[in-house]
Amino acid sequence: MNLTRDRLRSIGWLAILLVCTALTLALTFKVNAVKSKVRLTERQIVALRQETMFLETEFETRANQQQLASLNQVEFGYQAPTAGQYLEGERQLASLGKPRAPGAPSPIRVASAVSVSEDSVLPAMVSPLTGKAMAAEVPGGTPKKPITAANLRDRLSKVDERRTARE
């Protein structure tokens, strides 16, 4: 096998190119490994900062609890509830109630809305000027039929149809 100088030179350049490619590939893998370690370390730093914040908050809360407990004991004389202070049920709670005193204000009452069903008639609208029902003041003297939920729905659908026809 007779190798010429040009052929040896080509094989040499090819070998150098292969070595450089292998080194570049190895370097790329090394850089990616270092980048992933940096990301992992950054995540650990963030987790440690969050844990530190949590522990600081916990410490401040417990310090406030100690301060409140000492204030309650010294200043106000408060004590933690004992087992005898808890109620067993509604009857025991009701037994603690007292009748209203003669000068007590009346209890607050809450209004409830009546649900509108399909056949229920809504109250007639009254004109603030005349005091008459609006249906009685229709031009032409023919009163409208009473407004029900079904009539109202029909009227609204007709208005929607007209609006879409204009557009």
- Model confidence over 89-98: pLDDT tens digits? 888 888 887 7
132 lies in the same domain as 59: no
Residue 107 has pLDDT above 50, yes or no: yes
State which of 78, 100, 133 marks the end of a domain.
78
Structural domain harbouring 45: 1-78
143 lies in the same domain as 71: no
Q: Is 112 helix (H, G, I), strand (E, B) or coil?
A: coil
Find the DSSP H helices in the chain.
Answer: 5-71, 90-95, 149-166
pLDDT of residue 137: 47
| Buried residues in 136-156 as b, exposed as e (16+ CB within 10 A) | eeeeeeeeeeebbeeeeeeee
Q: Residue 91 corresponds to which tokens in the numbers above?
A: 């009857």
> pLDDT class for 133, splitting at 50, 70, 90?
low
With respect to residue 34, please indicate whether it lies within any of the assigned structural domains.
yes
pLDDT of residue 142: 52
140 lies in the same domain as 71: no
> pTM value?
0.35
With respect to residue 112, please indicate whether it lies within any of the assigned structural domains.
no
4 lies in the same domain as 68: yes
- pLDDT tens per residue, range 134-150: 654 445 555 555 566 66
Q: Do residues 167 and 142 make contact, with C-beta atoms less than 8 angstroms apart?
A: no
125 lies in the same domain as 73: no
Q: Do residues 116 and 150 make contact, with C-beta atoms less than 8 angstroms apart?
A: no
- pLDDT tens per residue, range 35-73: 999 999 999 999 999 999 999 998 888 888 778 777 777
State which of 23, 57, 78 marks the end of a domain.
78
Give the Cα separation of 35 and 48 in Å (integer): 20
With respect to residue 103, please indicate whether it lies within any of the assigned structural domains.
no
Q: Do residues 142 and 136 make contact, with C-beta atoms less than 8 angstroms apart?
A: no
Average pLDDT value over all residues in the chain? 80
Higher pLDDT, 77 or 28: 28
State which of 53, 78, 103 marks the end of a domain.
78
pLDDT of residue 34: 97
Give the Cα separation of 4 and 120 in Å (integer): 109
134 lies in the same domain as 72: no
With respect to residue 65, please indicate whether it lies within any of the assigned structural domains.
yes
Residue 79 has pLDDT above 80, yes or no: no
Q: Quote the number of domains for the chain.
A: 2
Q: Which residues, in sequence order, are bridge partners of residue 121?
A: 148
> pLDDT class for 114, splitting at 50, 70, 90?
low
Residue type at position 60: E
The long-range contacts involving 106-113, CB below 8 angstroms and separated by at least 24 positions, are: none
